[in-house]
Structure 1
Amino acid sequence: MAREILIVGMNEIGASIGLAIRRAGRGVICTGYDSDASAARAARKSGAVEKLAMGLGRSVGGADVVILALPSGQVRGYLEAIGPRLKRDALVLDTSWLKADAVGWASEILPEGRHYIGAVPTVAAGALYIGASGASEPSGDLFEGGLMAMVVPARTPEAAVDLALQVASWLGTTPFFIDPAEVDGVAATVVDLPTILGAALMRVAVRSPGWREARRMAGRLFATSAIVGALQGPGDLQAALHLNRGNVLTRLDETIEELEALRALIAGSDEEGLERHLAEAVQAHYAWLAARMRGEWAQEEIVPGELPEGGIFDRLLGIGGLRTKDRRRD
């Protein structure tokens, strides 16, 4: 019997997930839903899904897996919409970045016998700069060779975890387990802070006295730095920053401290100190990029969160050489 998968959100992430599943998964029927009808039609045309859902009711009720490819601020609303319609043993796989609140929402909203797992896929190394200047086309290879950070709530049945792992396999990712609070901290560093800095750059630029000339002369450096502040809608960005405000404020304070240090070096004409300071950043960047391109994380410790007990986790300890903390939930 074919497994029914409903993907909610036909953005680049959702459509790419659909393409990967349809390419690798056998006996799977993918249905797509998006409140933006044009995005839904584009995903159907690309082959990301076999059919489109005009509404959530019937499609949710028949789905074995509902994949949420949504901004973090929309997750609670969709959990409330789909929760009562989910069939027993259905799995909700949430690909949004923020997990601490989402785990709590799922526990509060989903009926008994319906399961939630957080899953954040990382893009393939070769796709790091695709879309750096704006939205890009979905691809079934978007996540190939990347990781899948998985947040598994306590008492999640083994069958649900198995199903989530199957989805990770279809995407070509290696799963590892992590605590929801750790995911939120990572999001503040690699998603929220770059977005804020991009938005701040744009606001500073348009208020500068020379903007009339600058807008004509700005090139790739400015474009790639500023675009990250415009990739999300203002409402979605505001909601995400509000949900993760504790971590975001910490990163902002650290960034302000770093900018003040750079300002002091520039103001003090400390040429050697400034060069040394910048060299550290350049070296750190290329060290990260080299490691990210290699993807040989087995040689480094990826420290996930606590894992629920169960045979499936014993089998996972050796996946990709990833290591786990030596602890279990009570």
Structure 2
Amino acid sequence: MPVKITIIGLGQIGASVGLALAAHKDKVVTTGHDKEIGNEQRAKKLGAVDQTNHNLPASVENADLVLLALPISEIRDTFRYIAQDLRKDVVVVDTAPVKAEVVKWAREFLPETAHYVGIAPAIGAKHLAGTETGLDSARADLFTKGVFLVSTPPGVPGEAVKLVSDLIDLLGATPVLTDFVESDGLMTSVHLLPQLISAALLNATIGQPGWSDLRKTASRNFYAATAALADSDGVEALGMATIHNRENTIRSLNNFINALIDLRDDLEENEDSFRKRLSSALNGRINWLLERNKAEWTQMPDEKVERPSMMETLLGSKLGKMGRPKDG
């Protein structure tokens, strides 16, 4: 019997999950929900979901797994709206970049019979340079050779984690087990910080003396450097993610400020060191992209548990064993 998955939020992430799962229609049935009915209709037409349900509570009633692909600013209310309609032992998953506050909301609103698992997806290297956003940017291979950080509160059954791990395998990505503290620290540096740097650059230029002339000459470099803020889930979501993740964010901002100060000081006093810093930065980026394209990452360790996983129970042993390390 196919696993029933409800995807709430049919933007780039949610619709891409649906498109990837469309290749496994014998194993998975997807229901899509979005606050914009037009997105639901387009996602159905694109084949990103098998069916849609614009009634939010009803959309999750029979789901084995509910995926919230939403801005963090919408997750709390969504938990509250769907809580009473979740079936026993449902796995509830979100894709917000930081989890500390989401875990609190899960404890506050989700029933004890629901199992919360947080995931933080990183798209595959093939799509890093993409500029489209929203449903138009959804791709079946968006997560191929990407990484998903997987974290859970204490007490979540291993079967629930295994179900999420198997789902990530179907997306062509690598699940990496971590905890909320580590996940939030990592995502602050690589997800939130670029957006805040983008905001700082805009605040340092737009509206400042000379902007009337600068705006005429600002070109590709300025566009690229400020794109992170425009590509975010919006100011409300970014603000919430950073404020609820204040300690990590301040640490990351301080690291960035110190790096700027080092560049400034070397520019004033040591030209050789200044050039070395630029060269080191460029080489670091080149090496990072090489590693991202190779995607030779370590997968989640397989727990030595004799009982079948939740995915095995629902779908049979073949799918449930996907992604497990081979002996030898």
The alpha carbon displacement at 1:118 in A equals: 1.0
Cα distance in 2, alignment partners of residues 45 and 177 from structure 1 = 35
Which residue of the partner structure matches residue 249 of structure 2? 248
Instruction: Render the CA deviation track for 1:130-173: whole Å, top value 9, x for unaligned.
Output: 12x76552001000122221113322223322321221122111
SS in 1 for 2:60: helix
Q: How does 1:271-290 map to 2 (within 5 A)?
A: 271-290=271-290
Which residue of the partner structure matches residue 328 of structure 1? none
Kindly indicate whether residue 117 of structure 2 is the aligned counterpart of residue 112 of structure 1. no
Q: How does 1:145-184 map to 2 (within 5 A)?
A: 145-184=145-184
Which residue of the partner structure matches residue 68 of structure 1? 68
Comparing 134-143 and 194-203, the one that deviates more: 134-143
Cα distance in 1, alignment partners of residues 209 and 292 from structure 2 = 40
The alpha carbon displacement at 1:219 in A equals: 2.0
Comparing 251-260 and 30-39, the one that deviates more: 30-39
- Residue 53 of structure 1 aligns with an amino acid whose one-letter code is N
Which residue of the partner structure matches residue 325 of structure 1? none
Which residue of the partner structure matches residue 264 of structure 1? 265
Cα distance in 2, alignment partners of residues 71 and 287 from structure 1 = 31
- Residue 184 of structure 2 aligns with an amino acid whose one-letter code is D
Number of positions where the alignment pairs a residue of Structure 1 with one of Structure 2: 313
Which residue of the partner structure matches residue 30 of structure 2? 30
SS in 1 for 2:35: coil
Instruction: Render the CA deviation track for 1:11-68: whole Å, top value 9, x for unaligned.
Output: 1001101111112342422111111233333322221112221111211112111101
Question: What percentage of residue pairs aligned between the two structures are identical?
Answer: 33
The alpha carbon displacement at 1:178 in A equals: 0.3
Which residue of the partner structure matches residue 199 of structure 2? 199
Cα distance in 2, alignment partners of residues 311 and 184 from structure 1 = 32
Unaligned residue ranges in structure 1 (runs of 5+):
322-330
Cα distance in 1, alignment partners of residues 308 and 289 from structure 2 = 30
SS in 2 for 1:297: coil
Q: Is the 8 A contact 1:21 1:170 kept in 2?
A: yes
- Residue 22 of structure 1 aligns with an amino acid whose one-letter code is A
- Structure 1 residues 89 and 134, CA gap change in structure 2 (3 angstroms): closer
- Structure 1 residues 142 and 242, CA gap change in structure 2 (3 angstroms): same
Q: How does 1:11-160 map to 2 (within 5 A)?
A: 11-131=11-131, 137-160=137-160
- Residue 204 of structure 2 aligns with an amino acid whose one-letter code is V
Instruction: Render the CA deviation track for 1:200-226: whole Å, top value 9, x for unaligned.
Output: 112222123332232232222111111
Instruction: Render the CA deviation track for 1:82-135: whole Å, top value 9, x for unaligned.
Output: 11210111110112111222223223322122111112222111111112x765
Kindly indicate whether residue 216 of structure 2 is the aligned counterpart of residue 216 of structure 1. yes
Which residue of the partner structure matches residue 314 of structure 2? none
Cα distance in 2, alignment partners of residues 222 and 208 from structure 1 = 15
Q: Is the 8 A contact 2:174 2:297 kept in 1?
A: no
The alpha carbon displacement at 1:309 in A equals: 8.2
Cα distance in 1, alignment partners of residues 286 and 247 from structure 2 = 29
- Structure 1 residues 64 and 30, CA gap change in structure 2 (3 angstroms): same
Instruction: Render the CA deviation track for 1:212-263: whole Å, top value 9, x for unaligned.
Output: 2322322221111111112231111111111111100111111111111211
Comparing 198-207 and 244-253, the one that deviates more: 198-207
Q: Is the 8 A contact 1:177 1:307 kept in 2?
A: no
Cα distance in 2, alignment partners of residues 65 and 191 from structure 1 = 26
Cα distance in 2, alignment partners of residues 77 and 25 from structure 1 = 31
Comparing 44-53 and 141-150, the one that deviates more: 44-53
- Residue 257 of structure 1 aligns with an amino acid whose one-letter code is N
- Structure 1 residues 207 and 265, CA gap change in structure 2 (3 angstroms): farther
Normalised by the length of structure 2, the TM-score is: 0.87
SS in 2 for 1:251: helix
- Residue 185 of structure 1 aligns with an amino acid whose one-letter code is G
Cα distance in 1, alignment partners of residues 104 and 266 from structure 2 = 45
SS in 2 for 1:293: helix
Which residue of the partner structure matches residue 238 of structure 1? 239
